[in-house]
């Protein structure tokens, strides 16, 4: 092959490689440029630093695939609960509780949130910090902000919050890792939740929910406290259903999670709690599919608070049931 042709082919190959790589980052993406303008004007960021950052942010196809088909979607209760309620998660939960007993009990005293609820959240989210995500947060949030139109506004806001929090905390925005959706640390806080609820619980003037279980515990407790957890109140009650109760009395989707009917109203409709409850207390009714038949529950205010962490009745029930298992196993 003539030398000149070889040189042309090498140049073309390099040019294609450069174009290809540039296409995988967000340095010139119009929405990224718009966010850069906003951060420069409203938050005082340096434009050059942000452009360099987005040149390093990589589009991840696997993230788009993952968010399009979340693993737990559409599973019936009897399958869903097996993901989170198992011997391994219970044993590790007891271990985590005993290892961090002093911190957990301080968090419980200061916020009123039971230690076992805090442990259950961390256990369900990340197996007590063992599985907290392998994606760079900058890649996850950029991919979803700029290449996932159905929730672009939400993830653009989270990306903005992420850049603000890393600047506040003096962290490298290219270094932190999390879930495919950009959730971070032991408790899988989204960046906006970090800014609103994460706390320095050990007094070292750094808020570290990635590597510091003390800050993670305090932050989860603060999240629940700020969302209105009521100390000592019942979370859920098993229920018995009599007659033909219409499906619209039960939680069907996330929009139904807000308690709007009283216990007395549910009882009149044929959904009776199996334990004494205040007839005037607001609740939601839940119908969970078993392999044969259904089980029924009434969720009260504190159950609603758990759903603020993840807007799913089945998720909240797993948190509650794991917390009860852990509480039964640890020495009080």
List, for residues 96-135, the tens digit of each pLDDT value: 999 999 999 999 999 999 999 999 999 999 999 999 999 9
HSE at residue 118, side-chain half, CA atoms within 13 A, is: 29
Mean pLDDT of 220-231: 98
- pLDDT band of 331, cuts 50, 70, 90: confident
Residue 222 has pLDDT above 80, yes or no: yes
Which residues are tagged catalytic? 125
Higher pLDDT, 190 or 21: 190
Given a contact cutoff of 8 angstroms between Cβ atoms, the answer to whether 136 and 154 are in contact is: no
- pLDDT band of 332, cuts 50, 70, 90: low
- pLDDT band of 72, cuts 50, 70, 90: low
Strands 135-136 and 236-241: unpaired
Residue 43 has pLDDT above 80, yes or no: yes
Q: Report the pLDDT value the prediction gives residue 7, as an integer from 0 to 100.
A: 40
- pLDDT band of 74, cuts 50, 70, 90: confident
Cα 64 to Cα 36: distance, rounded to the nearest angstrom: 23
Q: Report the pLDDT value the prediction gives residue 178, as an integer from 0 to 100.
A: 98
Q: Report the pLDDT value the prediction gives residue 1, as an integer from 0 to 100.
A: 47
List, for residues 279-328, the tens digit of each pLDDT value: 999 999 999 999 999 999 999 999 999 999 999 999 999 999 999 999 99
């Amino acid at each position: 092959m003539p030398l000149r042709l070889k040189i042309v082919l090498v140049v073309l190959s390099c040019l294609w490689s450069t174009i290809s790589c540039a296409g995988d980052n967000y340095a010139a993406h119009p929405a990224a440029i718009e966010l850069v303008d906003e951060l420069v004007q409203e938050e005082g960021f340096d434009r050059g630093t942000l452009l360099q950052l987005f040149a390093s942010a990589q589009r991840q196809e696997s993230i788009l695939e993952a968010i399009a088909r979340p693993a737990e979607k559409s599973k019936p209760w009897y399958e869903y609960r097996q993901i989170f309620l198992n011997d391994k998660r219970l044993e590790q939960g007891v271990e985590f509780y005993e290892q961090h007993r002093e911190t957990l009990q301080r968090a419980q005293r200061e916020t009123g949130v039971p230690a076992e609820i805090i442990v259950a959240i961390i256990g369900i989210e990340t197996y007590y910090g063992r599985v907290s995500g392998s994606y760079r947060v900058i890649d996850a949030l950029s991919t979803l902000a700029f290449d996932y139109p159905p929730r672009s506004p939400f993830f653009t806001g989270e990306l903005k919050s992420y850049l603000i929090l890393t600047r506040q905390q003096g962290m490298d925005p290219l270094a932190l890792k999390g879930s495919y959706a950009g959730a971070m640390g032991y408790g899988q806080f989204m960046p906006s939740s970090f800014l609103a609820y994460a706390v320095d619980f050990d007094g070292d003037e750094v808020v570290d929910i990635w590597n510091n279980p003390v800050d993670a515990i305090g932050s989860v407790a603060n999240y629940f406290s700020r969302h209105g957890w009521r100390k000592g109140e019942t979370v859920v009650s098993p229920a018995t259903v009599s007659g033909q109760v219409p499906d619209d009395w039960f939680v069907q989707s996330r929009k139904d999670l807000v308690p709007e009917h009283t216990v007395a109203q549910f009882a009149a409709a044929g959904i009776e709690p199996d334990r004494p409850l205040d007839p005037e207390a607001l609740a939601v009714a839940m119908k969970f599919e078993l392999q044969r038949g259904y089980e029924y529950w009434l969720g009260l205010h504190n159950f609603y608070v758990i759903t603020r962490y993840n807007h799913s009745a089945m998720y909240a029930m797993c948190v509650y049931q794991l917390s009860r298992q852990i509480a039964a196993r640890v020495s009080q």
